[in-house]
Amino acid sequence: MVILDGKKLSSEILAGIKKEVLKDAKQMQLDVILVGNSPASEVFVRRKNVACLTAGINFVLHRFSKSASLSELKKTIKKLAATPRVSGIVIQLPLPPELNKQELFDLIPPEKDVDILSANNLGQFYSGNLLYMPPVVGTVSHFFNKYKISSAGKNVVLVGAGRLVGFPLSLWFFRKKATVSVVNEFTKNISAYTKKADIIISGVGSPGFIKGSMVKKGAVIVDVGISFKKGKVSGDFDFKSVAKKAGYITPVPGGVGPMTISCVLENMVALNKNRF
């Protein structure tokens, strides 16, 4: 069994980003909008800050209360969109359910949309015309390239059909000539799918949901379902039982988490090059 080491690979990517940043006379800046005080969001924002410091990128956090209005947030995003020194804008998820997420995402200019969540950039990605990848797709791509994992002709099961994980990854795997199944909370007997899968990626945020009995020997396991309970980080896979059968597996923490942040910054560097 091989551990897909996200910490190590992320460090390599950040080192490469730092070299690119040092070549550029213009200092890059990532602005993050945080609404509310979710413990999980606080952790992710701190990690983004640390990654930016490591890569030589300015980091600015804009805090809003949970009761912040849509118009208040839109005003800030429009201001950041028009500010030349701002190279990338991230709206930290999740947002309060009453806020229209897409309306906010669509205010971010394509060249500053490092999370690839605006309708414009998502459309470009879905049509195959975008040179950059959503961070989770970039993460999986980096892992597979680094560890020489091929998906062509493989059975891939994506647990969760969300726009951050399931949707973009299903398209990416289709293009890689894999056979893809996407299961969700309405799928009957999910284990019937996972037991046949060569590659399983889950992003539903249900701690330990997938057990070792639900995977076949030698499967590639990528755990995107990071959740926090009583200060402890957990993944969708029951690591202890699944690791005994997996061929490759991402740990939680230290797997997908640091990689997605590195991919956000990687997107920002690439987009920044196109702007100047």
Answer for the pair 161, 167: CB distance below 8 angstroms, yes or no. yes
Give the mean model confidence (pLDDT) for residues 230-242: 91
Answer for the pair 260, 136: CB distance below 8 angstroms, yes or no. yes
Give the mean model confidence (pLDDT) for residues 93-110: 95
Q: How far apart are CA 9 and CA 15, in angstroms?
A: 10
Give the mean model confidence (pLDDT) for residues 218-247: 92
Report all structural domains of the chain as residue ranges with CATH numbers, in order of start.
27-109 (3.40.50.10860), 135-257 (3.40.50.720)
Q: What is the pLDDT of residues 34-49, one digit of tens each?
A: 999 888 899 899 999 9
Q: How far apart are CA 209 and CA 199, in angstroms?
A: 16
CB atoms closer than 10 angstroms to residue 96: 15
Q: How far apart are CA 157 and CA 242, in angstroms?
A: 15
Give the mean model confidence (pLDDT) for residues 96-117: 96
Query: pLDDT at residue 276 above 50?
Result: no
Residues in the chain, overall count: 276
Percent of the chain with pLDDT over 70: 99
Query: pLDDT at residue 24 above 90?
Result: no
Indicate the average pLDDT of the chain. 94
The DSSP annotation for 99-168 comes to: S-HHHHHTTS-GGG-TT--SHHHHHHHHTT--SS--HHHHHHHHHHHHTT---TT-EEEEE---TTTHHH
pLDDT at 233: 87
Query: pLDDT at residue 25 above 70?
Result: no
Q: How far apart are CA 191 and CA 213, in angstroms?
A: 8
Q: How far apart are CA 3 and CA 221, in angstroms?
A: 10
DSSP E strands, the chain: 2-3, 29-35, 58-64, 88-91, 155-159, 179-183, 199-202, 220-223, 227-229, 232-234, 248-249
pLDDT at 183: 96
Query: pLDDT at residue 15 above 70?
Result: yes
pLDDT band (50, 70, 90) for residue 275: low
Answer for the pair 38, 248: CB distance below 8 angstroms, yes or no. no
pLDDT at 274: 60
Q: Round to the nearest angstrom and report the end-to-end CA distance of the chain.
A: 44
pLDDT at 230: 73
pLDDT at 244: 97
Percent of the chain with pLDDT over 90: 86
Closest CA to 131 of 116, 117, 151: 116
Least confident of 74-88, 200-214, 225-239: 225-239
pLDDT band (50, 70, 90) for residue 93: very high
Q: Estimate to the nearest angstrom the gap between the alpha carbon of 250 and the chain centroid.
A: 14
